Chains A and B, each alone.
Chain A
Amino acid sequence: MVEVRGLTKYYGDFRAIENVTFTAQRGEILGFLGPNGAGKTTTMRIITGFMPPTEGMVTVEGYNTLDESLEARRCIGYLPENPPLYPDMTVSSYLKFVGRIKGVGKGDLAAALDRVLEKCILTDVASRIVGRLSKGYRQRVGLAQALIHNPPVLILDEPTIGLDPKQIIEIRRLIKELASERTVILSTHILPEVSQLCSKVVIINDGTVVVEKQLKELAQGESLEAVFLRYISKEAEEKSAEQEQV
């Protein structure tokens, strides 16, 4: 479970996000949507402990990411926008390295490696150099890296980007399967992916959460595209109205 409470982040004078609050339950895939620059990556970076918020707090599986940072980080598998790969390493040595720094025990490492290689369909390229793989493979190595320590929480920033249609289907199936006993926060621009995978949707626009609803309640008869556009433009309209009043 991930609880985000009142997150605000300033980069200098620039306000990236303000008072972002939402909750993702276990067994739930939370679709995290918003236009480019809305603050999705900032929010994810704060949840994963890459940087602290200016205000607010995050708890991951009950651990506060500031006070119990190591415990919280141990619970998270994170696939950033650009997969964090070392291009000189082979796929299996890279995944073993990540396993070790994520705290996978020596005895469990080989099994963990086999598991993620199989799940992410990487067994054939296990001994290839990461830097020479195609984009789709790299993306899957990035996903495997997030899964190696079998974390209860997965934070995925556009996981299916750069994959071919067959791989997209496989990875979506994998995410769905993983979500049954985990908490998954999934950021994406592909709205059909949200309708297929997610049970809950959070839309963020201009740094603030404009909607947090179950998918069923949100898209009553309407397409998700229409809902999405309505929410991000409604917010923009209110903003400009506010500014006019001031």
Chain B
Amino acid sequence: MKNILTLAGKELRSLFVSPIAYVVLTGFLLLGGWFFFNLLFRFTYLASLYTGMRNLEEGLQSINLNEHVMAPLLHNLAIILVILVPIITMRAFAEEKRSGTYELLLTSPLTVTEIVLGKFLGCISFVGIMILLTAVYPAILLYYGNPEPGILFSGYLGLFLLAVVFVSVGLLTSSLTENQIVAAVSCFVALLLLYVISWPAETTGSALGGTLKYLSVVEHFGDMVKGVIDTKALVYLVSLIVMSLFLTHRSVEASRLGR
């Protein structure tokens, strides 16, 4: 456990001593802020439209902060994560292999599990920080309005789980290559596939459609954004994480055995 924390701390620090952490955080918050501003602006515009109408009560009931601001915001942030997480994780193994520090890690008295979990913990701490910083948007809503806190929580839990899935896939692709660009692009493609795999669901038969829907991370995430925490969704996301980490473990082990 001590070794895992040491590796995780080093991973996190190495992001912050290079410009990567700051560029990624700034980009993420800048885009997040822009989305939030626009969604909120549209919301107040809608609200002012409804107040001019006669059936005010009915109108105001049909719009709320959770559905009209937070839900689209979280969906947008998830899409930005699809782009940014591969950039955070691409270095994890690929850079170590190229620079020769992989030799240091593998000849140190560390188990492969410790190496993989250390990297994993370091990277999810960083995406945790990214997501935590966006909590300023719902904080503003909570201060000035009255969104449902339970739904906010469930949506954020969904976003974090989604980010953890992305990180574990990113670690896997990074462990397979010594080229960071290859690691990032293949992670990006895999994440996008996980995102859009449910697209043919409507037109295919119910069995296949149901399966594709279940395989799509965005379907489960969408439920959580609506405030529904389904065990089925949790099981799927957690198994994706465990499977990716297991394959990463195998890949690190194999790079040691194979060459």
Q: A residues within 8 Å of B by Cβ? A: 11, 45, 48-52, 70-71, 73-74, 76, 78, 80, 82-89, 93, 97-98, 100-103, 145
Contacts and interface: CB of A to CB of B under 8 A. Distances in A.
B101 A86 contact: yes
Given A48-B107, A50-B106, A70-B111, A85 B3 contact: no
A50 B107 contact: yes
Given A49-B106, A97-B10, 13 more contacts: A49-B107, A52-B257, A73-B108, A80-B104, A83-B100, A84-B99, A89-B13, A89-B14, A89-B17, A101-B3, A101-B6, A101-B105, A102-B109
Nearest to B118: A101
B256 interface: yes
Nearest to B16: A88
A86 B14 contact: yes
A17 to B, nearest CB: 14
B6 A70 contact: no
Interface of B: 2-3, 6-7, 10, 13-14, 17-18, 99-111, 256-257, 259
Contact of A73 (B10, B18, B109, B259): B109
Contacts, number: 70
A151 B111 CA distance: 19
Contact of B107 (A71, A78, A93, A103): A78
B100 A84 contact: yes
A80 B100 contact: yes
A196 B174 CA distance: 44
Nearest to B105: A101
A82 B6 contact: no
A88 B102 CA distance: 16
A84 B103 contact: yes
A86 B14 CA distance: 9
B104 A52 contact: no
Nearest to A73: B109
A76 B107 contact: yes
Nearest to B5: A100
Nearest to B115: A101
A130 to B, nearest CB: 11
Contacts of B99: 82, 84-87
Given A50-B103, A97-B6, A98-B104, A103 B14 contact: no
Contacts of A49: 106-107
Contacts of B106: 49-50
Contacts of B104: 78, 80, 84, 98, 145
Contact of A82 (B13, B100, B109, B110): B100
Contacts of B101: 84-86
A59 B101 CA distance: 24
